[in-house]
Chains A and B, each alone.
Chain A
Amino acid sequence: MCFYSKREYLIVIFDHISVVAAACSRVGQRVLHLDRRSYYAANWASFTFNGLLSWIQQQQVSETQDWCDLLEEGEELIQLSSQSSIRNLQVFTYTSKEDEVEEASADSVNTTEEEQHGPGETRCAVGSERLSQEVSRTHHSLQHMEIPAEGFCSLNISPIFQSQATITEGAEPEAEQPQSPAIPSQSEPSRKKISFAQLEKEGRRFNIDLVSKLMYSRGSLVELLIKSNVSRYAEFKKVSRILTYRNGEVEQVPCTRADVFASRQLSVVEKRKLMRFLTSCIEEKDDQSAYNGRPYLEFLRDQKLGENLQHFLLYSIAMVTEDTPTEVGLASTRNFLRCLGRYGNTPFLFPLYGLGEIPQCFCRMCAVFGGIYCLRHSLRCLLLDTATNRCKAVIDSRGQRISCSHVLLEENYVHERKNVATPPRFLSRAVLITDSSLHGSDSEQEVSMVTIPPITEGAPAVKMVELSSSTMTCMSGTYLVHLNCSSVSSAYQDLSPLITTMFSTPESHDQGRPSVLWCLYFNMEDGSAMEVEGHDLPSNVYVCSGPDGELGHEHAITQAELIFHKILPEEDFCPPAPNPEDILYDGGSAPSSGPEEEPSLQLEV
């Protein structure tokens, strides 16, 4: 019945570890890649808007079962738990739930056509009575969903309910009376607001990533994509500018010669100082090592750089904090500069259709070289040979036994087998759909990296990425904004104060900023804090962590290479894939069965 269970696999890979899978498959290993979900790449995945909505609902924990009847002589079971790494999910919808206007004025053809653009646009025409209706509708739809995941309810979420309550107070359900003046839609009558129904309708235009990262243009991911030829499966967009949030304003960070030249916020003397600092810090110098261990900010101050430049260099270019040691700050600055100008005016690239494309590309490479993929397919336990203490086989969610020689899985499946339990660390994430860019420019298709220093003492520094529809991650007329920081508290508590000041939401009073249409908060376990060693596991079972909070992909790629060399110490990691025309086929097999044929990625059993 199940063709894949009859064969012996060299490697069974579970969930999202696609780079290792591709690397193993590329050098001729038989790889089986199982995923319990209906999509690839676990927490690295991206979703359409509707896909994300169902993902939000699916964040539940599955049950465990007993599989002892499948054991053979001299074998032992290791149960795989599957604790979710997502916590504190909260969703807010700040736009009209539906395009009700259409139905309401269905009797008049003229108005219907006008109002299809969304409720905001027609308000002037229909007068104040309609206005109050619109406003209340907005408030009715202020949706609040909360799915606290199991085992992580300790965070105090009551303040959220309170703030929620104060806003909804005036808008009792069914109440149709005029609202208080602090209503977002009122102050900007000209801007048409996209309704929730439109978001759902155009949901396929969205590709919303669970992680928020960028690709350093000389980072290990880009180098690997080039080296392995996997880059041919994807297209990329240059991040067009770096912004920062300072003194309540969003400013552009000058980081290239052209930016420095064109910058209006720097004086000519500051321009010279900045350029001189940037050129001089490319080389390591003796006077720099004198600052080792001392804060980078101190080093910058001693270079006689003014407030402006210190801010740019510390938060936006080095992207470190005030107490980061000088050597770390300088290394980070050098990395930034090294990546600058390879592809564009910033050091970053972003894949079209979202970061979720990257693991899919590696999956494709794996499949091209014979890897087999099964979605919606869980692993339940590992079968251990008690004599050798090696894993002989795995049992999947359908009760099949699959023989294998290596197993690779994500850390939280075997979290309980850790010898010394360390408390997990979390990332706070927010995803916003907004109606305009934080910082206007000639182009409406800017892709911006926004660095935000801690807004209050002890608050985390936030990295924000604002994607325009040119990245194919959101519908036209909207921007997709990702926020990411290390958790201090829940994602909502960490990020909502910032969102309220930088954007226009029902909670914020300062209007004229981009309006948030929809917003998602969640916490995700920080992969860099997961320990992949020190589990009580057989020697041929490998553990890999989830996404980390850094902007680049260094952590994941380094880990993948490390694991690959543990499995196959003699082999080359992702050598370039040959051109299709250079591949020789055996006499019997026709070229049509060749590896470069479109692989069937979705193997449904």
Chain B
Amino acid sequence: MHGRVKVKSTAQQEEEKRKEREKKLKIYIAARDGCFTKRKEGVFDDEALQLTQQLLSSNPDFATLWNYRREILMHLETVKEVDEVQKIYEAELLFLESCLKVNPKSYGSWHHRSWVSARLPRPDWARELSLCDRCLSLDDRNFHCWDYRRMVVKMFNVPVDQELKFTDRLIGSNFSNYSSWHYRSTLLPLLHTTASELPPMQAESPKSNRVCEEQLLKEYELVQNAFFTDPNDQSAWFYYRWLLGRELEEMISCLHVSREEEQVAVVFSRPVNVQSGCLLLVLDGQPHAVEWKSIHPRFKHSPVWICNLPPGTISEISNEHNLTVHWTEKHSRKDCTLFTGHAESWCQDSATDQELFRSELSVEKNSVLQSELQSVQQLQELEPLNKWCLLTLILLMRALDPLSYEKEMLAHFQTLKEVDSMRSAYYSDLCSKFMIENTILKMEYAEVRVFSVSDKNLSTLCHLDQLVLVTHINLSCNQLLCLPPQFAMLRCLEVLEADNNSIGNLEGLYHLPKLEAVILKDNKIATLADLEPLTSCPRLKRLDLRGNPVTQLANVESELAKLLPSVLDLLL
């Protein structure tokens, strides 16, 4: 046909491209070798700067070349005037911009940029900020840029409220970007803390790092807009959880002393590592040097620490003793008096008063939480199967009133396991945790030392540090697989009922001084070795192992008599 434009065939084009590439490769290799030789010879001249620039502009991820370049620049700093150095580094920043265009996520380029910015005699931070803005507008999840930006903000001393506006803008353009939400969460405590009114030392403690209420309400509104618009987007939910959350105060929550064992147990509000010297024991006005041990050798950090007093210190029943422990690190102390005629004594904070289990949610006013609950309930009506919504609903209910919402909570957990079956085990564990919390609260109301959670579908045990004073525990008819090492925190335990579970591991029955009876009927204990930990419990008299595989072993009775000579009442 006439008049048609003739075009090169694909094969011709390919061939041309191949030749082009070969030519480029030759130049590249020659330049690279040239650089390596120069570096070996210790040459730090302008030509080396040129060569590395050529190579890095086509491949900005060549770390060795960046290093060489820094060596050259540091050398130039020593031989040139400040103004010249400024010019060199400014040129370097321009060059880096072209590298970032090739690969906006190059570790080498970003690192070099922060290196140059830090060494620049007269840095232009405003320009750097606008570079970051441009970069983030192209890709708002470029974490290299976020990192660099944090550095610039710090150096430039950008006011917090200005940064908050920056996150407003980013969240406005894309609220599914957790980088922006997270950055916001680091800014809010700086901006709206009441810290300025407090003396500096207290201002640094985590307690004052709360966001003021007025700002919190604004944040709730913002984040609600996000999760109502798209309830399947997790970033908003995570930020919401953060907003509702709080940090627990670090302190001593319980002190227990037993006359017979001459042992003291200290319970902390969170796992700690008690270094020698940071926990002081004062007995009747006299400091005592004692050795603190965690409740199980497996734990370096533990919420419960124990010490044995020198024999005879408090064993005389007719004596009264005053005991104080000081936690020097956090300025926390606890006192208790062991009265005449008493075998033990303790001093414990109430879980109810401390609102320990309000789901790690904040100490906000009930009215605020109540209105939050209403909004999330409203969303749940619109999106009954949304897992984030259900989970948040449960947390809010627990923050408001853990006991009266128990029934609704269990129903929501049931729905959660159905709609998000991939995480059903997680929900089971979480539900177990909440059920244990509720039981602890009920036990406190009843003012007893009996802890009973039978037939509650427990899949795991937690909050055992709250059960230090419990003497009787009933865990029967659950889905427990083991008694974890934390179980050793139950310092006063006398009777353990754990029949009808799937327990095959008794690691936690470790040095329990008062344990007398262990009911393990219908569990999964298979070998004698599984029973080994029980040998550390000196008072064990009664053991029920009916319905366990171990009872099928040959000579089990005689072997057990050898292993646990103190047990008189053995049921097989």
Residues of A within 8 A of B (CB): 27-30, 257-258, 260-262, 268-269, 271-273, 275-276, 369-370, 578, 582-586, 595
Contacts and interface: CB of A to CB of B under 8 A. Distances in A.
Interface in B278-327: none
B175 A28 contact: no
Contacts of B8: 582-584
Contacts of A257: 175-176, 229-230
Closest 6 A-B residue pairs measured CB to CB? Answer: A268-B228, A28-B3, A584-B6, A28-B4, A578-B7, A272-B228
Given A268-B375, A276-B382, A582-B13, A260 B6 contact: no
Contacts of A27: 4
Interface in B349-405: 375, 378-379, 382-383
A585 B8 CA distance: 10
Nearest to A582: B8
A261 B6 contact: no
Nearest to A30: B3
Given A30-B3, A261-B226, A583-B5, 18 more contacts: A28-B4, A29-B3, A258-B175, A261-B225, A262-B225, A269-B378, A271-B228, A271-B229, A272-B231, A275-B229, A275-B230, A369-B5, A582-B7, A582-B8, A583-B7, A583-B8, A584-B7, A586-B6
Contacts of A578: 5, 7
Most A C-beta atoms less than 10 A away, residue of B229, B382, B383: B229
Given A28-B4, A582-B8, A258 B172 contact: yes
Nearest to B173: A258
Nearest to A595: B5
A521 to B, nearest CB: 39
Given A275-B230, A582-B13, A261 B172 contact: yes
Contacts, number: 64
Nearest to A369: B5
A586 B5 CA distance: 10
Nearest to A29: B3
B225 A271 contact: yes
A275 B174 CA distance: 15
Interface residues of B, number: 26
Interface of B: 1-8, 13, 172-176, 224-226, 228-231, 375, 378-379, 382-383
A442 to B, nearest CB: 10
B382 A269 contact: yes
B413 to A, nearest CB: 24
10 contacts: A30-B3, A257-B176, A258-B173, A268-B224, A269-B228, A269-B379, A269-B382, A272-B229, A275-B230, A585-B6
B96 to A, nearest CB: 29
Contacts of A262: 172, 225
Most A C-beta atoms less than 10 A away, residue of B174, B175, B225, B378: B225
B5 A268 contact: no
B233 to A, nearest CB: 9
A521 B143 CA distance: 54
A452 B137 CA distance: 33
A28 B2 contact: yes
B230 A273 contact: no
A273 B5 contact: no
A362 to B, nearest CB: 17
A276 B2 CA distance: 57
Contacts of A269: 228, 378-379, 382
B229 A260 contact: yes
A29 B3 CA distance: 7
Contacts of B176: 257
A262 B226 CA distance: 9
B349 to A, nearest CB: 39
Contacts of B225: 261-262, 268, 271
Contacts of A30: 3
A370 B3 contact: yes
Contacts of B5: 369, 578, 583, 595
A354 to B, nearest CB: 27
Nearest to B6: A584
Contacts of B229: 257, 260-261, 271-272, 275
A272 B7 contact: no
A272 to B, nearest CB: 5
B517 to A, nearest CB: 56
Contacts of B13: 582
B500 to A, nearest CB: 45
Nearest to A273: B382
A258 B174 contact: yes
Nearest to A578: B7
Contacts of A582: 7-8, 13
Nearest to A269: B378
A274 to B, nearest CB: 8
Contacts of A584: 6-8
Nearest to A274: B229
Most A C-beta atoms less than 10 A away, residue of B1, B7, B224: B7
B2 A272 contact: no
A98 to B, nearest CB: 43
B379 A272 contact: yes
A29 B7 CA distance: 17
Contacts of A275: 229-230
B218 to A, nearest CB: 13
A583 B378 CA distance: 64
Most B C-beta atoms less than 10 A away, residue of A260, A268, A584: A268
Most A C-beta atoms less than 10 A away, residue of B8, B228, B231: B228
A30 B4 CA distance: 10
A370 B4 CA distance: 10
A306 B100 CA distance: 48
A585 B378 CA distance: 71
Contacts of B224: 268
A273 B162 CA distance: 34
Contact of B1 (A28, A258, A260, A370): A28
Contacts of B383: 272, 276
Contacts of A586: 6
A282 B536 CA distance: 67
A531 to B, nearest CB: 34
Given A258-B172, A583-B7, A584-B8, A272 B382 contact: yes
Contacts of A583: 5-8
A51 B164 CA distance: 49
Contacts of A29: 3
A319 B17 CA distance: 49
Contacts of A268: 224-225, 228, 375, 378-379
Nearest to B176: A257
